[in-house]
A and B are shown apart, each in its own frame.
Chain A
């Protein structure tokens, strides 16, 4: 791997480190602060399970971030992660509540604004809605679990020592679950921005399993989180455990469980799949703030106990964080990208070229897009996303965001040549044998747009066909999209661009 890649990834690692130092304290803070669990035990369990969560189920939440804005150049990813990390640092120093989730979303929007790529409003609304839902849900869960635990403890009448032992064990198990959920949910914050510019490739361990490039990326992020846990979290844990709220060890257990369940709900593709199969509405997979989940649960319990001693200012601070954090990160990222591009001459985004050729217009018509207004732009080539979007707005009245995004994706020129000499590289991907053999008849063909390749593949084999976009099929389609991306990665050829 090139040195530059490591340098660019470093900002993500920095963000991971700060996540490990701060957010691990939410999981084990009360346990270590009350001396119920030793720091060494907490640090080991936390690092191990963050790693498992990140590698095994980290993909779900990162997908949503990718939809919000797919940063396509390493230097851009570096700056987005760096801006988020700097924002977290500045706001922590200023004593303001901050979450990496909110910072990274702001940074991605900053990149979108700088590069001219559109921000997916639907994803943004989904993400912000989840931020508000997260502490509320944790509060409700906290109240429910607290009630159940109180009744159970009263009913079981454990000896004080046995209750202590059970609470310790419970705290470790809940902490492990919490760390797994934290890894699954928040790895997207740390490494999500690098997904579209991922420098790693898949490798297979025998026929057992494929270790995808994204998993390798997440593993690296998880290691950074682990380092953060070991090097810096002890101080934060002792502060959280001692100063947040006077909680009994059993109360602390309830808080950790409520926090973990909420983080898990917003990260688990398995849960999403199970809900979809049962015909229930699914929960969006979005990186949420673990601190806010903890505060939500603590306030829930506080309200249950009569509401005395709750610091309502904390609540007001959280709400203000929903606005200020993304704004600061967005601004920092925008300004920093400007410097990185113009002072350090780094490519912070890869601009895209667009053409509304005959097949593109036909395909758009088939998609149900009104193409009459597009005729004037036909066969005209645009070499910046900004230019193309401006032209679209000029010529198409009432251009909806959905239609714009469809036109952008269909018209983007990304030449792909199914090259005989490269086809062996497919062995190192997660593609099935059937999928690979379906590619052979396409050898030698060139596609100007990615969708053309998708259509050709779908025509060649059942295994390349997307299923109808229902919630049940979401996971399958997402996986298929990932496989298509692997194919693009292998066969994409340089786009000839005007000087």
Chain B
């Protein structure tokens, strides 16, 4: 009987962790679509996506807290509990960053000239790819699969891609005829979006160490 309860609890926790990963993946996708709509000038669609990202962020927080509570309360995975909680917390920061970027777009309503739109889209594409790879690496890590390493390489690749695009974008912006205040505002947005890929890379770096520790 105790065994059955143990395994049903485990299954539930497994499902919650999977859902958390889903929410992160969905969150960056909704973020991407939202910013795409903003750049297209479709503000009502942007608003809808902003709501969606907020909801996903809240659910992500909820799941993270619930997993955290259960891991401590039921003293599960004592050896790797701290590692797993750190991973979830840092991954959750990605959702927070997406949400806060969306709010900044909504509040500041930055004007983005057409010449920068394509690079903005490329930057967001690279960020989404890096987070996607991270989510896959996380799932592989939880399953004890060696594929985690392959996905981590992808995270690093897309993060550096995001850096390249953001540097290019900022160079172009500061070389343009825009007002200095406008340039500064746009730089702030570029850095904020690029920061999401940086966070993904940080998590991947930690994950690499935890994966080594997990090998029995």
Contact = CB atoms under 8 A, between A and B. Distances in A.
A34 B79 contact: yes
B7 interface: yes
B78 A35 contact: yes
A495 interface: no
A159 interface: yes
Contact of B78 (A34, A160, A161, A250): A34
B175 interface: no
B77 A158 contact: no
Nearest to B143: A157
Given A160-B80, A161-B17, A165-B6, A250 B142 contact: no
Contacts of A162: 7, 10-11, 14
Contacts of A496: none
Contacts of A163: 144
B68 to A, nearest CB: 13
B6 A160 contact: no
Interface string A1-44: 00000000000000000000000000000000011100000000
Contacts of A161: 10, 13-14, 17, 76-77, 142
Given A34-B78, A158-B144, A160-B84, A248 B14 contact: no
B10 A36 contact: no
A153 interface: yes
A159 B14 CA distance: 7
Interface in A131-155: 149-150, 153-154
A165 B4 CA distance: 11
A251 interface: yes
A164 interface: yes
A249 interface: yes
Given A159-B142, A161-B17, A169-B6, A251 B216 contact: yes
B79 A157 contact: no
Contacts of A154: 144, 146
Given A153-B144, A157-B145, A160-B80, A165 B10 contact: yes
B81 to A, nearest CB: 9
Contact of A248 (B10, B143, B216): B216
A165 B142 contact: no
A162 B9 CA distance: 10
B49 to A, nearest CB: 32
B144 A164 contact: no
B65 interface: no
B130 to A, nearest CB: 23
B7 A35 contact: no
Contacts of A168: 6
Residues of A contacting B: mostly: helix
A165 B7 contact: yes
A396 B77 CA distance: 71
B14 A164 contact: no
A321 B143 CA distance: 45
Contacts, number: 58
Contacts of A250: 216
Given A153-B144, A157-B144, A164-B10, A35 B216 contact: no
Contacts of B141: 160
A160 B7 CA distance: 12
A447 B63 CA distance: 84
Nearest to A41: B2
Given A34-B78, A35-B75, A160 B214 contact: yes
B181 interface: no
> Which of B10, B13, B76, B216 has the largest number of chain A CB atoms within 10 A?
B216
A169 B3 contact: yes
A249 B6 contact: no
Determine which residue in B17, B79, B84, B141 has the highest number of CB atoms from chain A within 10 A of its CB, and name it. Answer: B79
Contacts of B84: 160
Contact of B144 (A36, A160, A169, A251): A160
Contacts of A169: 3, 6
A248 to B, nearest CB: 5
B77 A160 contact: yes
Interface in A161-210: 161-165, 168-169
A61 to B, nearest CB: 32
Interface in B1-60: 3, 6-7, 10-11, 13-14, 17
Interface string B71-108: 00001111110001000000000000000000000000
Contact of A249 (B14, B79, B144, B145): B79
A305 to B, nearest CB: 10
Nearest to B16: A161
Contacts of B77: 160-161, 164
A36 B80 contact: no
A158 B75 contact: no
B91 to A, nearest CB: 15
A153 B216 contact: yes
B18 to A, nearest CB: 9
Given A34-B78, A150-B216, A158 B6 contact: no
Nearest to A36: B78
Contacts of B216: 149-150, 153, 248, 250-251
B150 to A, nearest CB: 15
Which of B77, B142, B143 has the most CB atoms of chain A within a 10 A radius of its CB? B77
Interface in A235-279: 248-251
Interface string B135-167: 000000111111000000000000000000000
Given A160-B141, A162-B11, 16 more contacts: A34-B79, A149-B216, A150-B216, A158-B143, A158-B144, A159-B10, A159-B142, A159-B143, A160-B84, A161-B10, A162-B10, A162-B14, A164-B77, A168-B6, A248-B216, A249-B79
7 contacts: A159-B17, A160-B144, A161-B13, A162-B7, A162-B11, A162-B14, A165-B10
Interface of B: 3, 6-7, 10-11, 13-14, 17, 75-80, 84, 141-146, 214, 216
Closest 6 CB pairs of A and B: A35-B78, A250-B216, A165-B10, A164-B77, A248-B216, A161-B10
